[in-house]
């Protein structure tokens, strides 16, 4: 169905006068997506990594990378506004800052203050479950890491942040486009029609807020 002149005028107005709001919605939507990913990692780890094993550190790294991404200097629009780094609960506030520090010093970089190489002479037992002393010199990487119980705390942090981001995204989405619904998919920033398939598309709507189920 062809657009009426009024609808066309309203659509042009959205894409000329609301560039700042669209950029804000972009940041919020991307942040919501990253936070949802971090939340899913935390839920999986909370369920299946209850003690130190080979997934303990890789899942921590994956979680920290996803969680911290919205708060870094992403090009070209920068990080989320400072209000999103504030939590009403003091423990969550401390944990939030700890995660960003982990990202800067341990996950995205390799600061010597966070990791060291430890040499085990022949016959010395490494403090690794199931590992026997070797007749040769061996080495291990010592990480300053939180225990697997950490995943429960960070999952609660994600629940808090995701809920706030989701409400903001949905409110801004409806404010910008709820009354003048697009007739085809289009790019939020450019307004150009966008041909999309389900490959690589993550859709988060009000109907997908339940925690993921893992086998």
Q: Note whether residue 215 is domain-resident.
A: no
User: Has residue 94 been placed in a domain?
Assistant: no
Q: Tell me if 91 is assigned to some domain.
A: no
Is 133 domain-assigned?
no
Looking at the structure of the chain, the number of domains it has is: 1
Instruction: Identify the domain containing residue 55 by its residue range.
Output: 5-80+145-208
Give CA–CA dist 132/122, Å, rounded. 11
pLDDT digits (tens, 9 = 90+) for 28-79: 999 999 999 999 999 999 999 888 778 888 899 999 999 999 999 888 888 9
Domain assignment present for residue 118? The answer is: no
Specify if 110 maps to a domain: no
Residue 115 included in any domain: no
Residue 127 inside a domain? The answer is no
10 — pLDDT class (breaks 50, 70, 90): very low
The lowest-confidence range among 28-37, 87-96, 167-176, 199-208 is 199-208
């Amino acid at each position: 169905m062809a657009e009426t002149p009024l609808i066309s005028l309203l659509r042009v107005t959205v894409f000329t006068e609301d560039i700042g709001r669209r950029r804000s919605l972009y940041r919020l939507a991307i942040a919501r997506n990253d936070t949802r990913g971090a939340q899913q990692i935390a839920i999986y780890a909370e369920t299946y990594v209850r003690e130190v094993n080979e997934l303990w550190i890789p899942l921590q790294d994956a979680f920290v990378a996803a969680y911290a991404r919205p708060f870094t200097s992403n090009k070209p629009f920068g990080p989320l506004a400072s209000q999103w780094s504030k939590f009403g609960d003091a423990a969550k506030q401390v944990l939030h800052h700890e995660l960003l520090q982990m990202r800067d010093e341990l996950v995205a970089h390799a600061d010597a203050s966070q990791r060291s190489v430890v040499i085990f002479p022949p016959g010395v037992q490494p403090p690794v479950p199931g590992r026997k002393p070797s007749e040769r010199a061996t080495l291990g990487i010592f990480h300053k890491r939180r225990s697997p119980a950490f995943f429960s705390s960070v999952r609660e942090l994600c629940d808090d942040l995701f809920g706030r981001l989701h409400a903001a995204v949905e409110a801004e989405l409806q404010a910008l486009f709820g009354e003048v619904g697009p007739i085809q998919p289009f790019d939020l920033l450019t307004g150009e029609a966008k041909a999309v398939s389900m490959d690589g598309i993550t859709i988060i709507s009000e109907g997908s807020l339940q925690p993921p189920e893992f086998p």
